[in-house]
Amino acid sequence: MEIYFKFYKEPYFNQDKKQEIKEKLNEIFEISLNDSDLLTRPSIYIDKLKDKDKMRSFLDYFKIIVDDLKASPNN
């Protein structure tokens, strides 16, 4: 799966938000995305999502982001 940090735009996806997403992805997928990845489209293997707890964590986190974006007056 590719994470399109390169195309995440402000105001919602400011540097702090990108950093937060990167940290959450590192935690869920047990990887080490670094700050330079926030300027690109890093690929992540989704095999970790076979674990039900990791899948739930991933879906719950990104549901919050989607809900926030829907509620944002700038989107």
The identity of residue 39, as a single letter, is L
Cβ-based neighbours of 44, under 8 Å, separated by 6 or more: 1, 2, 3, 25, 29, 31
44 by Cβ neighbours in 10 Å (0-12 / 13-18 / 19+) ranks as middle
- Contact (CB, 8 A) for 40 and 34: no
Full-model pTM: 0.88
Q: What does the domain layout of the chain look like in residue ranges?
A: 2-71
Alpha-helical (H) ranges within the chain are 15-29, 52-71
Length of the chain, in residues: 75
Per-residue model confidence as pLDDT tens for the chain (75 residues): 999 999 998 888 999 999 999 999 999 999 999 999 999 999 999 999 999 999 999 999 999 999 998 998 776
